[in-house]
């Protein structure tokens, strides 16, 4: 089992009542451009794009709505820690980019273990070619039947697609570094071409059984 080359593992850290949340984003540099970005620059980039998604809703997708109201007021993001990793997945360098004043401002929180899943698609078949990012610390935005409100589902999908799209762009053009789905078993890192967000709330440590959900998809880098 080996990791692909030129990878950075970026942990987005947050606290919320009853839970510590760590979301991981993988970034890979082009072979011809490796070492053009420092670990600190990668950490800063992920921090800045996440803050824009939460606080201002900047992005190319329809809603352009800040996601603050979709996270509980007790959800606070603390830092992004980026690691440059080798073929064994071991960190060879690390850097931290703190958040300042980035938090949710929504209503009553869902239970701590509840999360809305962003599925990361790469255009290739198989489980190893897909990834997930669990959005914890959520506010209440459910139908009486316990599904995610369609309007909120669309806003979250727009926000997450904008986040992943922004990660690969510098000054409006695709850059030499991009977010990827990593498969150590396949020794591959694939670019993220689409994301989708379902309307069923998962938990961060278990699946939600066989509930059929309706998903909203967004193109990221097709």
The answer to whether the CB of 156 falls within 8 A of the CB of 70 is yes
pLDDT band at residue 80 under the 50/70/90 scheme:
very high
* Domain span holding position 160: 7-219
Question: Could you tell me the pTM of the whole model?
Answer: 0.89
Tell me, what's the pLDDT at 141? 85
Contact between 68 and 99 under an 8 Å Cβ cutoff? The reply is no
Mean pLDDT of 179-185: 88
- Domain membership of residue 2 (yes or no) is no
* 153 inside domain: yes
Per the structure, the count of domains in the chain is 1
Residue 63, pLDDT above cutoff 70: no
**What are the pLDDT digits (tens) for 131-160?**
999 998 988 888 877 789 999 999 999 999
At residue 204 the predicted structure's pLDDT band, cuts being 50, 70 and 90, is low
pLDDT at 173: 75
Q: What is the per-residue pLDDT for 169?
A: 84
At residue 205, the pLDDT reads: 57
166 to 12, 62, 85, 87: CA distances (angstroms): 16, 15, 22, 27
Residue 212: inside a domain, yes or no?
A: yes
Asked whether residue 185 is assigned to any structural domain, the reply reads yes
Residue 196 lies in a domain: yes
Question: Is pLDDT above 60 for 207?
Answer: no
* In the predicted structure, residue 114 carries a pLDDT above the cut 90: no
Handedness of CA 137, 170, 168, 62 (dihedral sign): positive
Asked if the structure places residue 88 within a domain, the reply is: yes
Average pLDDT taken over every residue of the chain: 87
C-beta separation of 129 from 209 below 8 A: no
Q: Are 103 and 69 in contact (CB under 8 A)?
A: no
Residue 1: inside a domain, yes or no? no
- Report if residue 29 sits inside a domain: yes
Query: Helices marked H in the chain — which ranges?
Result: 39-55, 150-167
């Amino acid at each position: 089992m080996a990791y692909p080359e030129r990878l950075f593992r970026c942990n987005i850290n947050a606290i919320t009542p009853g839970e510590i949340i760590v979301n991981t984003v993988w970034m890979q540099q082009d072979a011809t451009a490796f070492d053009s970005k420092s670990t600190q620059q990668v950490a800063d980039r992920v921090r800045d794009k996440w803050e824009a998604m939460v606080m201002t809703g900047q992005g190319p997708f329809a809603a352009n709505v800040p996601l603050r109201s979709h996270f509980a007021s007790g959800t606070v993001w603390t830092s992004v820690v980026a690691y440059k990793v080798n073929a064994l997945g071991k960190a060879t360098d690390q850097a931290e980019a703190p958040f300042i004043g980035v938090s949710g401002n929504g209503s009553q929180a869902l239970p701590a273990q509840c999360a809305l899943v962003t599925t990361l698609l790469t255009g290739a078949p198989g489980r190893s070619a897909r990834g997930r990012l669990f959005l914890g610390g959520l506010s209440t935005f459910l139908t009486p039947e316990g599904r995610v409100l369609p309007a909120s589902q669309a806003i979250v999908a727009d926000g997450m697609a904008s986040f992943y799209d922004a990660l690969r762009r510098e000054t409006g053009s695709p850059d030499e570094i991009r977010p990827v789905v990593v498969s150590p078993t396949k020794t591959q890192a694939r670019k993220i071409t689409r994301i989708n967000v379902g309307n069923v709330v998962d938990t961060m440590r278990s699946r939600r059984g066989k509930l059929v959900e309706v998903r909203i998809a967004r193109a990221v880098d097709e």
